[in-house]
Structure 1
Amino acid sequence: MSIHNRKIVSEITRYITGDCTPDDRRVISGLIDTDPLYQQEYKELNQVWNHTGIKSIPVFDVNVAWSSVEERISKAPSRRIHRIQPVHNQVRKIAGYALRIAAVLLIGIAIFQFLVPHTSFKTIASGTSVAAPLSLADGSTIFLNSSSSIKFPEKFGGNKREVYFWGEAFFEIAHDPTRPFIIETGETRIKVLGTSFNVKAYPKTNRIEVVVNSGKVLFYHVDKNDHILGQVILLKGDKGVYFRNTGQITRLLNDEPNYLSWKTGLLVFSETSLDKVLTAVGQKYGVTFNMADKDLSQLKLTATFDNETLDAVLEVLQLVHNLQFVNNGNDYLVKKK
């Protein structure tokens, strides 16, 4: 703010709070009527002042207060009072300064509260199962996979829509060209205007992945000061991958047709090698597979599973390829019978 503008703000602050002489008030009033800069500052500061609900700042008559103190002291026995003019003047000056400081502080606090309103956030966590669809205030819909959470404002304000996310989810973002939608996932950001995409950003993994289902997505990673270190633009069918261990971000063609199986319940395979089949099955059901013989990975499968249980899927694999699955908790050893 320039010195000239600070002077205008100071004068209008004194005018609004009543901390000026009648002559000063007439001068400032005239400037507000004729000077566009004064008019603009008065409009903004007066709006903030009215927002505080404070009608006026108490005015203290220092002369009356001092006389009252002297009178009380003089009535006390064996006491003599000497009126000390310098102290009296000093009190008057201090009181005046205090009122000015109080007025400026009150307006400063009001400006902060008025321009930076408090935002209420909600946090939703999915636990061990897929959560019900979540609708946001802007019309966007989010589907959370298991072990995922999202933090978002009850109402989006300002010039952007921002949420904080961990885990895996499918986003259907309502189109709004004036307010981009930004997803924070630790060290990466996903910025869109209106599109649909899947995000996988579990905290303890080395990769953060974004697969675009429709529209266009800006995927980038930042430093601790939110400065962009690298970015890629993703279109429909693209997959963006950020590697936490190297800090590299890259764009690939998505070669995983079942990346949304956790949401749709569908697993579709067409002459797919067994190692890729087991990877997709493992991701959907939260288990891992280890093959006793590397040659098993050359086996192929063509099949569709629609919301089947894990046991039902494994039973089909056993029958088609004469396999055996040895269960050890969430781990399976795969071998020929």
Structure 2
Amino acid sequence: MAGGKEVFVVVVLCQLLDRFDSPRFANPVVQRYKDEDGENWRMWYHGRDLNFGNDVFSQPTGRIGLAESPDGVHWERVDGDEDLGAVLTPNKEEWWGFDTSHVGVGDVQGIKTDKIRGSGDRQGTVQFMYFFGGDQEEVDVGGIEMGGQKIPEGVAVKGLRMRIGLCLSFDGVHWTRLEGDHHSGAVFDVGQKGEWDHLFNAWPTVVQHSDNDFRMYYSSFDPQTSKYSIGLARSTDGIKWKKARGAAEGMVINGGGGDAFDARGCGRRHVVEDPETAGYLMFVEGVDMDGRHSIGLYKSSDGLKWERSSDKPVLQGSQEEGAWDAENVGCPWVVPMEDGSCRLYYSSSSRESGSHGIGMALSDGKDWTRFTRFDPIASA
């Protein structure tokens, strides 16, 4: 404990029973800031406490929180003003809102647009949080095959119909929702019935390609192919979004086949500039034929057409017996460093111990296809 607040180290977040993130949490969204006072790191993530409600879509989504760090390794939770220390909770004001049952974080960044301009640094900048949430609708998923398992007929899930929203903040702690054009307040809706993304749109990642060209990559599940897939929406200001039209109606990646790490598709991801080219890299969470989750890599020269770097993942579950991340890894987030290397933050959980954690792996120098898990104990 330090200054009355719990301090935790990347690899497994300690769980406090009176927090929004106990016992489940995931999806690190990490930003690094440098100024004359030194280096600061911030991590937004979402979590769900034991009393949140078992009738809502079964994910660690629920509420969104924040942690801070001087080095990206040792983290201290920031006490938000919302329920159980969160900084954003489900919508309590508008019963018709898209985010009344649960919320999750997708991306946080300083955005420069014609409507809202900022310096690009945390101080004095309007922060955009692209988040997602589910409403109170019960969605019939009976007969759908997900991850190799067929859901029994008659099963309905509340909160599955997720849509993407936007909120703004000057300090990263206090957030105000920006109402979108959709009647629910969302800035981006699900697809029409029969389209690949009609079940939900979630886990947005945004890239500002140029001054008036924003790209949002998002996750959905296509019942027709039984694959998790990634779509693309575009915007001129980062606020109003339209699905990219084409042969697949906005879908840009639907996974591989055979023995590929994403044979059953891929979803949650992070897109960064390729340090070796003028293009982009997309680190994705893929699901293989056996249902295992791992992190792989796609590349693109323009951010529109993507190719798998390899059928093999760049990071998979640990081979160590009893490891907290031995089963699945996902929710990738990459932070480039000055020496050309990068840090890969990720989430995992253990069915055996029930623990959830956020870990970090280090690239092999400038080779962003090879990673070694960071061990906080060995580096202490």
Fold match (TM-score > 0.5): no
Give the TM interval when normalised to the shorter protein. under 0.3
Greater relative CO, 1 or 2 (CA 8 Å, sep 6+): 2
* Pair member with larger Rg: 1
